[in-house]
Amino acid sequence: MPTAMRSSVALLLAIAAGCSSPSGPGPDASGDCNTLAQLGAPVTATFTSGNAPAPTGGTIVPGTYLLTAATYYGTMVASNVAETALVSAGSITAVLTDQSGGAVDRNNLAYMTNGTDLVETHTCPLTGVTTTVSFSATPTTLTLSYTVDGATRVGVYTLQ
């Protein structure tokens, strides 16, 4: 999966060393951004044509979320991934495990909502980089979508 795809939450996720952040657990002995355990099982991506569902915004409930579905609208290179995200008021700590190559990506970010947009400011590894993804939140799910090169990824994360 291209790094640009991983670094947005989901969300969210990129490889780094030697970083720490107030938005999540600090670096472990290897220098990773956080020490969050991967609790999710690998999710097999599905592909479809047409348009992605419109985001609805909502209230994001704090807690631990696991990726439970990933749908791609359009042509995109994707691999099976497991994702775990710890969401608190204004921050996300995340870990992604790419099942095709075994890479583990960790990311910490601050976020704010603006309508149906989730505006992320990365604090580790991409310090100060801001990205925007669309979101829909229910009391038990957080759905994030973003478009890269004309294709849209919609990831559904379920509150544990």
What is the dotted CATH code of the domain comprising 3-159? 2.40.128
**What pLDDT shows up at residue 142?**
98
Write out pLDDT tens, residues 53-78: 999 999 999 999 999 999 999 988 77
Give this prediction's pTM: 0.81
Look at strands 46-48 and 130-137 and give their pairing: unpaired
- Average pLDDT on 99-103 reads 82
**Residue 30: which residues within 8 A CB-CB, separation 6 or more?**
17
**Is pLDDT of 21 > 60?**
no
Return the domain boundaries, the chain. Answer: 3-159
